Chains A and B, each alone.
Chain A
Amino acid sequence: MIPLTHHLILAAVLFCIGMAGVLVRRNALVVFMSIELMLNAANLTFLAFARDRADAAGHASAFFIIAVAAAEAAIGLAIVISVFRSRGTINMDELRTLRN
């Protein structure tokens, strides 16, 4: 059997890679993909603990997180399209109309 901590550390690494993507990348789509990685890290953690505790609540949680991720993808991509339509780029460095 694979130790629980292996899965937890894998999820933590995935979460941090996603977080680094959000903080470092400037392409709106890639930033969004990084957020998906972070959500998957949460899912992996839920499932690892569900296995450890033989508890189906973790599975239900993961199920709902996937549903939320789908909803987020729909609205997020629509917003990316509207940004692209209004200024022809999705580079976040160029989103600077709203500044001090």
Chain B
Amino acid sequence: MNIPSLTFLDFQPVLPALLLAVGGIVLLLTEVFQSAATINRAYQSMVALAFSAVAGAVAAATTLEPAREVFLGFGVSDPFSGAVTVLVCVGLGLSVLVSAGFLRHRNAERGEFYALLLFAGAGMSLLAMSNEFITLFINLEVMSVSTYALSAWLRRGTRPSEAGFKYFILGAFSAAILVYGASLLYGATGTTKLSELAGLLPAAVASNPGLTYLGAGLVAVGLAFKVAAVPFHMWTPDVYEGAPTPVSALMSAGVKATAFASLVRVFLPFAQDLGPNHAQLMTYAFAALALLTMVVGNLMALPQRNVKRMLAYSSVAHAGYLLLGVAALFARPTGGEGPLAVTPLLAGAEGAARQQTLQAILFYLLAYTVTSLGSFGALAALERREDEPRGTAWDLEKFAGLSQRKPGWALAMAAMMLSLGGIPPTVGFMGKLFIFRAAVDAGLVWLAVAGVLASAAGVYYYLRVVVYMYMRPSQDGVTVPERQWTTELALVLSTAAVVLLGVAPGTLSAWLGKASVLFSQ
């Protein structure tokens, strides 16, 4: 019997995930030894923060290494997975900072909360490097199970458990669809490894076209639920509204980013190895999904007077812009073929164009992570727990006159809203610029135009928040919760990132450009 050997090189890429998991276990164990008399939980957020920071730094180092298969092809270590892990750790760190103040204010700070956050982060990091369907499914579940528990964390009123329940049912439903699709693809190709799948797909399509398409379609639907693409977005507003605000922030950032990463990893072989006809079909499919998601997300956000719900629909809209990038990634502009081919590219330039598109997607994911964490963070600073049972904690009116009461918070929130709306000089603008440019380069001009129009509509509801903060008088008797330095630190960090990266995106963009390398056979 030949037993394959594993070396340190196999374990090195999972180091960030291991660190996060160890951090979670440390928090769980120290929580056990808290005695009722001398309870002190201030260290917990700092421990969680330290572990996410170290994990992020380790992951950043992996982006400099060449892409390779690890664990006998069940995982890959490539710059892309490293970059996604860094992104997850950034989201995790900011989310921990926001959580500390949020939970203390509600007297709900426990080691388990941070432990679950870190476990979710570990799942995300492992998901980014999963290169086999069953591994992908398990890591997706690690991420999801932690977030189900986190969304039902608070015990006040009926909202948190309802959010947790809705998230769980739709999450489990989509996971079942995904794994059934994977079983059909296994039947069509005889493998569940994505690296082997690429080579076997052409033969599978030739002999069993229906089976292959059905399998791929079901896997796509399963992942579309996770990225909240229309028409699989129904859970988003309810879950984001009911979950604790820092958790909604992590869901909109980390969960979405990693789901996009696996979407790209799973479907790039379909676009790459099946010839131009399939690439075009995939581009059309994802372009349609992107269009629908952008339009519906923005339209649904327009009438929302509940800011948390508005941010939820806005996250649907942003998934649409990202899908636009994914569609551009799959487009294969080789000139002269079909209506999509507008810019003829040289054959060798195709890889470079792909890398540029991937870079745009990564940049957008990072921009959205920072901005979304910042906006949910400002919301968390502002919401009073007394208003939660009635559901008025997130009303637009609560923002009225915020610039006089809390000028710092108002400034941070204004920066976030401008960034979400894609207005310079913010990182959101640069992200949109890159992604629309990638779409135009890929020949999807009409889709880029639609994206610009949709985001122009979005500016209305983002600016409405700014108008309320700066131009409406403050309501009588409205108090804001006391300041928490952790939340304010998160706001300062994310505002600084939003503005600085908006003014000078060069360094980050160059680094992401190097990190936009996917493993391929």
- Which positions 32-46 of chain A face chain B at CB distance < 8 Å? 32, 35, 38-39, 41-43, 45-46
| A54 CB to nearest chain B CB (Å) | 10
Q: How many residues of A contact B (CB 8 A)?
A: 45
Partner of A57, one of B166, B192, B237: B192
Interface residue from A38, A49, A53, A98 paired with B176 (Cβ < 8 Å)? A38
Determine how close the nearest CB of chain B comes to the CB of A23; give it in whole angstroms. Answer: 9
**B497 close to chain A: CB less than 8 A:** no
Contacting B at CB under 8 A, from A62-100, are 64-65, 68, 71-72, 75-76, 78-80, 82-83, 85-87, 92, 95, 97-100
Name the segment of B10-18, B155-163, B340-348, B364-372 touching the other chain.
B155-163
CA distance A79 to B141 in the complex (A): 16
Contacts of A43 in B (CB 8 A): 183
* Smallest Cβ-Cβ distance to A97: which chain B residue: B158
- Across the interface, A35 reaches (CB within 8 A) one of B148, B159, B176, namely B176
Chain A residues positioned under 8 Å from B242 (CB to CB): 97-98
Chain A residue nearest to B191 (CB atoms) is A57
- B241 beta carbon closer than 8 Å to chain A: yes
* Chain B residues closer than 8 Å to A39, beta-carbon distance: 176, 179
Among listed B37-45, B167-175, B423-431, interface-contacting one: B167-175
Interface flags for B464-503 (1: CB within 8 Å of A; 0: not) read: 0000000000000000000000000000000000000000
Task: Name the contact of B141 in the complex, choosing from A46, A52, A72, A97 (C-beta under 8 A).
Answer: A72
Cross-chain contact A18 with B176 (CB below 8 angstroms):
yes
Cβ B145 vs Cβ A45 within 8 A:
no
Contacts of A18 in B (CB 8 A): 176
Q: What per-residue 1/0 map shows which CB atoms of B129-173 lie under 8 Å from chain A?
A: 000011001100100010011001001011101111110110011
Pick from B133, B159, B183: contact of A97, CB under 8 Å: B159
CA of A87 to CA of B162, assembled, Å: 9
B162 CB, nearest partner CB in chain A, Å: 5
Q: Which residue of B lies closest to A23 (CB)?
A: B173
B109 within 8 A of A: no
Please tell me if the beta carbons of B183 and A49 are within 8 angstroms of each other in the complex. yes
Kindly state the separation between the CA atoms of A99 and B238 in the bound complex, as whole angstroms: 7
Which of chain B's residues have a CB closer than 8 A to the CB of A80? Answer: 165
Contact: A82 with B161, CB < 8 Å?
yes
Complex Cα distance A99/B513, Å? Answer: 42
A10-48 with Cβ < 8 A to chain B? 15, 18, 22, 28, 31-32, 35, 38-39, 41-43, 45-46, 48
Contact A8:B187 (CB < 8 A) given known A22-B169, A68-B141, A97-B162: yes
Residues of B within 8 A of A15 (CB): 180
A76 touches which one: B162, B172, B190, B191 (CB < 8 A)?
B172
Contact A72 B166, CB 8 Å, known A82-B152, A83-B161: no
Chain A residues contacting B152 (CB-CB under 8 Å) are 79, 82
**CA–CA, A90 to B387, complex, Å?**
25
A71 touching B173 in the complex, CB below 8 Å, given contacts A49-B183, A61-B134, A98-B166: no
Cα(A71)–Cα(B138), bound, Å: 10
Other-chain contact of A72, B145, B186, B391 (Cβ < 8 Å): B145
- The yes or no answer to B420 lying at the interface (CB within 8 A) is no
State whether B173 touches A35 (Cβ < 8 A).
yes
User: With A and B bound together, what is the CA distance between A83 and B151 in angstroms?
Assistant: 12
Contacts of B173 in A (CB 8 A): 22, 35, 38
Query: Looking at B138, B158, B391, which has the most chain A CB atoms within 10 Å of its CB?
Result: B158
User: Inside 8 A of A95's CB, which chain B residues have their CB?
Assistant: 158, 162, 165-166
**B301-337 interface mask toward A, CB cutoff 8 Å, 1 = contact, 0 = none?**
0000000010000000000000000000000000000
B198 part of interface (Cβ distance < 8 Å): no
A33, B124: Cα distance in complex, Å: 27
Q: Point out the residues of chain A lying under 8 angstroms from B145, CB to CB.
A: 71-72, 75
CB <8 Å contact, B190 and A55? yes
Contacts of B159 in A (CB 8 A): 97-98
Annotate B415-442 by CB proximity to A: 1 below 8 A, 0 otherwise: 0000000000000000000000000000
> Which B residues fall within an 8 A CB radius of A?
133-134, 137-138, 141, 145, 148-149, 152, 155, 157-159, 161-166, 168-169, 172-173, 175-177, 179-180, 182-184, 186-187, 190-192, 237-238, 241-242, 309, 391
